[in-house]
Amino acid sequence: MSTEVKVPTLGESVTEATIGEWLKQPGDAVALDEPIASLETDKVAVEVPSPVAGVMGQQVAAVGDTVNVGATIATIEAGDGKAAAPATAPAAKAEAAAPAPAATAPAPATEDSGDGVTTLSPAVRRLVLEHGLDPSRIKGTGKDGRLTKEDVLAAANAAPEAAPAAAPAPAAAPAASGAPGRREERVKMTRMRQTIAKRLKAAQETAAMLTTFNDVDMSAVMATRDKYRETFEKKHGVRLGFMSFFTKAAALAAHDIPAVNARIDGDEIVYYDYLDLSVAVSAPNGLVVPVVRNADGLSFAEIEKAIADLGKRAKDGTLTMDDMTGGTFTISNGGVFGGLMSTPIINPPQSAVLGLHRIEDRPVVRNGEIVIRPMMYLALSYDHRLIDGREAVTFLKTIKEAIEDPTRLLIDL
């Protein structure tokens, strides 16, 4: 007896997804609710759980196929996983048709020969091939022990120089001069990457986007953070970071300049009396912007916990559609990657995004004297159709004043 596995409901207005990878192969034992496949939607990767315990049967769809909500993608057969794999499924057709590779250095497989299965995403598989590593010897830090790009890069850096990476066979013989062969690789964009590209381009074409800058002296916030770091972490179980200060400052500024926390809907302006903060974080498949709900009403500890949780789940690939839905204003912290200055792009249908950057010591004038201060550039990109230049400058100035004098955050100035 077989049970069909169908594409689950993916969220409001989401009707289809792409098969990202199969987490179980035909013949593998499957437990109840154990993920068997990963689907890529426009916003997040969604794992498909098995509705019953049994043996993985036929894979009706292949990696890269687009499937609709409610469509059957696989079957689960009765058994304990010791049965032989069923007939070749569509997901394996391409491999079956491909000629056997030459007897050179073995390429990393997508499965172990033992009981465990090492499932590699296309990006991870490419890195493994480039560095000539054995994926079964690398400890994975992703969900369920899966390998991430960071795991592979760390293993490559730790590998002894005496064991050079096994290079893939070149497409053509090297030139007579002895120069190494060159090659190209075409990798299909993931559904999420395609959506990111479309949305960012649409934002540029739709909004009258403009960016204004300011800089902020981080001395007071850094001193406050250093003074209360240990006490804060002991009491709340989370580190005190800079994002909570900027979230509080943005909420304070949005009360004075409500257009920054608004959106255009046709010929109307929609104002919010709350701040749902979209936080731009890096995920394995690209940049995502999960939402901290009612951020204006949260304490410093609650903000830090919410952001830490979203960041961890983004890295693990466990964000849900609800985590990504909504958002009235965005903060993007490029400083964690060392960025000095940027012009962030608005996250539609929002009307503004605040960009944070790295902190570096710079000479500034204070009371007629040149002194060294830890400075950060701030950038506010905004839709000029809704937000005037005066409002944008005032918004940034309010944030600057609150960060340079954090007491303002406590007494609402």
Check if the beta carbon of residue 203 is closer than 8 Å to that of residue 347. Answer: yes
Residue with tokens 């394995």: 284
Containing H/E element for 366?
A: strand 360-366
The helix-helix angle for 389-404 and 219-236 (nearest 10°) equals: 70
228 and 272 in contact (C-beta within 8 Å)? no
Place of tokens 């997040």: 44
Is 384 catalytic? The answer is: yes
* Burial state string for 180-211 with b = 16 or more CB within 10 A and e = fewer than 16: eeeeeeeeeebbbeebbeeeeeebeeebebeb
* Tokens 């944070």 sit on residue: 356
Q: Give yes or no for a contact between 133 and 159, defined as CB atoms under 8 angstroms apart.
A: yes
Known catalytic residue at 131: no
What does each C-alpha distance from 157 to 134, 140, 142, 161 come to in angstroms? Answer: 14, 15, 19, 9
Coil, strand or helix: which one is 271?
strand
Long-range contacts of 402-408 (CB under 8 A, 24+ apart): 402/245, 402/248, 402/249, 402/252, 402/253, 403/216, 403/217, 403/218, 403/220, 403/221, 403/245, 403/246, 403/249, 404/216, 404/217, 404/219, 404/220, 405/220, 406/220, 406/221, 406/224, 406/245, 408/252
Listed in sequence order, the residues at least 6 apart from 300 whose beta carbon sits closer than 8 Å to its beta carbon are: 232, 240, 244, 245, 248
- What backbone torsions phi and psi does residue 121 show, to the nearest 5 degrees? -75, 160
Does residue 296 contact residue 332 with C-beta atoms inside 8 Å?
A: no
Active-site annotation holder among 134, 322, 388, 405: 388
Q: Do residues 47 and 320 lie in contact, with contact meaning Cβ atoms separated by under 8 Å? A: no
3-state SS assignment for residue 256: helix
| Peptide bond between residue 349 and the one before it cis (omega within 30 degrees of 0) | yes
Give the chain's end-to-end CA distance (angstroms, integer): 68
Active-site pick, 144, 256, 322, 384: 384
Rounded Cα distance between 83 and 67, Å, is 28
* Helical axes 300-316 vs 243-256, angle rounded to 10°: 110
Residues annotated as catalytic are 384, 388
